[in-house]
């Protein structure tokens, strides 16, 4: 158990819908990262928050957005869903944003299926 929690574990929805994925980081970690794992793209970085502020963006679609709340949990919102958005979405956390030691710990993932 990494200490990072994600809900829900599984999500099945239809094209055009909107969903919210939730992540709670390890106790004491200030940084939250979102990654997407799909069959054709592999594991890719989406976005990072540090202590409530957006720190870095990767290959995140405009239909996707995220935020980190004062209690440090984070939510990833996916809207106007398409079939190609079906993937495993991971949240990771680390203590520091970008220092010499920055081990990231991953949650169990949310498996999204868009029908």
Partner 1 sequence: GIQVEQSPPDLILQEGANSTLRCNFSDSVNNLQWFHQNPWGQLINLFYIPSGTKQNGRLSATTVATERYSLLYISSSQTTDSGVYFCAGRVETSGSRLTFGEGTQLTVNP
Least separation in angstroms between CB 105 and partner 1: 6
Of 62, 64, 56, nearest to 87 (Cα)?
64
Least separation in angstroms between CB 115 and partner 1: 19
Please count the other Cβ atoms lying within 10 Å of the Cβ belonging to residue 36: 23
Q: Which residue's CB is nearer to partner 1, number 67 or number 104?
A: 104
Q: For binding to partner 1 (CB under 8 A), which residues are involved? A: 2, 31, 33, 35, 42-45, 48, 55-56, 58, 88, 90, 92, 94, 97-98, 100-106, 108-109, 111
Least separation in angstroms between CB 89 and partner 1: 11
Least separation in angstroms between CB 88 and partner 1: 6
How far apart, in whole angstroms, are the C-alpha atoms of residue 107 and residue 115?
Answer: 25
Of 14, 38, 27, nearest to 90 (Cα)?
38
Q: Which residue's CB is nearer to partner 1, number 96 or number 115?
A: 96
How far apart, in whole angstroms, are the C-alpha atoms of residue 94 and residue 14?
Answer: 33
């Amino acid at each position: 158990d990494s200490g990072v929690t994600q809900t829900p574990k599984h999500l099945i929805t239809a094209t055009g819908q909107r969903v919210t994925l939730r992540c709670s980081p390890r106790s004491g970690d200030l940084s939250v990262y979102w990654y997407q794992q799909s069959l054709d793209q592999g594991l890719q970085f989406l976005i990072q928050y540090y202590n409530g502020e957006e720190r870095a963006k990767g290959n995140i679609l405009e239909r996707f957005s995220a935020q980190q709340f004062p209690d440090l949990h984070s939510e990833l919102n996916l809207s106007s869903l398409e079939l190609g958005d079906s993937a495993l979405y991971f949240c990771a956390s680390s203590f520091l944003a970008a220092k010499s030691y920055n081990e990231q710990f991953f949650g169990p993932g949310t498996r999204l299926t868009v029908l």
